[in-house]
Structure 1
Amino acid sequence: MYQIPANKISMIFDREFEGSIRAVLEQIQSRGAPFSRFHFHADCRDGLVLLMDDTCHIALKSENTPMKGNRFEPALAKQVENPKNLHLRQLISQHKSVLTFSVGKGSLAKRGETATEKRAFEPALSLTDRATMWQLLHALLNALMGQRAPLAVLFHATQQLLEPAEIIANDRAGLPLKSMINPSTFSSGTKIKGNPLVGFRAMGSEVIFGRRLILHEVNLPLNQSMGLATKVMQTCYDNGVLMPNGHHTTEFTGATLDIRQRPPSAANPFGTFELLFSDVHHANENFITADTLRQSIFGRKFFQRPVTLS
């Protein structure tokens, strides 16, 4: 089976809790859509128990040596060894279980044998598929928090290793997508009073929406750029729309927002969705509200046809 790692999420547990995972999955499956379409399947060759359909699957495997690296989860081993994750490293020592699930069109189909074919990206996921992945994560977290919470959650898209409490806290704060975004900044070359303006890349947004969100020349601290980017993506998500195609300029109070979509490139294989403010002095976290986005952008035919979330 060939999968794109960016479409995967892994949850790390104590091994003693492994026997309860299937019961939790069966409980979630019984709740109805979108999980009722899944069915259980035993893959005896790899010793995995899978809950799958044509777009999503879950794999559970005992993880004996996550600290040293292994065939099953090299990305997990890399993150555990990251000095920034010392507090999680102390928890995830040895003899743990890893529950991995992914969403993708044809994710269970066997891919080509050549290196080029194996690196080829799968067709773009629908927003419904991505919503299913997110709903599944939260269903698992909510079901497990009352028993024994996972030690950590690994987002393969951004290589972030987070504690479950951090994900739940973001959700309660109205920023559920923040957990899946890894911020990256760059200097744009333009200066104000000698200080270069900073651009902002929302790494991981391409997994959620199919394109990477980039804010150009945003005269904001990183945490406020994160708030603005999250607000844009959350509004897209709440309105069930995909990122736009083409190029568009829309007027907001005090400034003009230039919106453009760029095709896939070597640096951004999924393409980009970029925002550029003509007057950076007026750009701030509250500059674009959900209402102005909905009225000024989402009401236009600039976007692709809306997708109804499950």
Structure 2
Amino acid sequence: MSSAGDPNDEPSRRRARSESDVAVPEQSAVAPTAPSWTLDTNVKVVLLRGAAPPADMKLSAFLRSIGEDIVPTRDVSMSVFVRRPHEYIPDEKQINAVLNAVKCLPYELFYKVAPFLEGKAISSLKQWAESGRGVRPSPSDNIRDDIWNVATARLNAAVDSIKRYMANEAALVQQVSLADNVAMTAEEMLNLRIQPSTKSVRVMPGAFESVFEARWGYVESGHVDMPLGLKIYDGTVDGVVVPRVWSFDEVREISCVDELELLDLENDGERDMAAEHERNRVA
């Protein structure tokens, strides 16, 4: 049986591997989860993808962390080193090995690109979206092309994600509003359909009196004793005699017929009556 302190003991080996595997580097190149950007988000946060700023350690400590056995001309901090790296590591091969290390990227983004953008009055995504795309460092800014490409890609991607979100949100609001309008219209139509069966019809007094209080009648010619030789007969509705609508005086007043015309009409009425009497006699 193996003792508890035996290095060949399997549980001990598993614990050793686990402790080695979970060793976390000081700076991760990629943030585990992209945060939700807004137009007010600082460009530094976007450049680091939401990760914490890299620790401003000494150059010698950084070289040891990446496994490079290099002796710099001066042991400056990393924030100073990335601005003029060739002054502290003159050898071209050695400096390329350091700058191409994954851990060096956050230092260049945070201590070189971010200050450059702030010098151009760009500190937020809104400012980058408005004027940042036309900005480009000059050789004197000492920002490598590949680092600048990484920075602009991250900033542009953040701005584009905000634009897509805003467009999707606007489309969602419009869709919800349309659905609400459709539902409201459907409800109103349903209420109109069920209204006759659930609500009694109410007649407003005085409305459409010319329709509800209308009367009818007819006139008959050949009556010499009547105005204009016409006699008004009132109609009936369901056997009920409807009262006369106009009086004789109203008829005379409206007619505007002089006495000669009235006499002619009365004579015509007499002739009509004589002719009618003759037809009845012959028959």
Relative to the length of structure 1, the TM-score reads 0.19
- Whichever of the two has the greater Rg, that structure is 2
Relative to its length, the structure with more helix (as a share) is 2
Relative to the length of structure 2, the TM-score reads 0.20
**Quick one: higher RCO (CA 8 Å, sep 6+), 1 or 2?**
1
Relative to its length, the structure with more strand (as a share) is 1
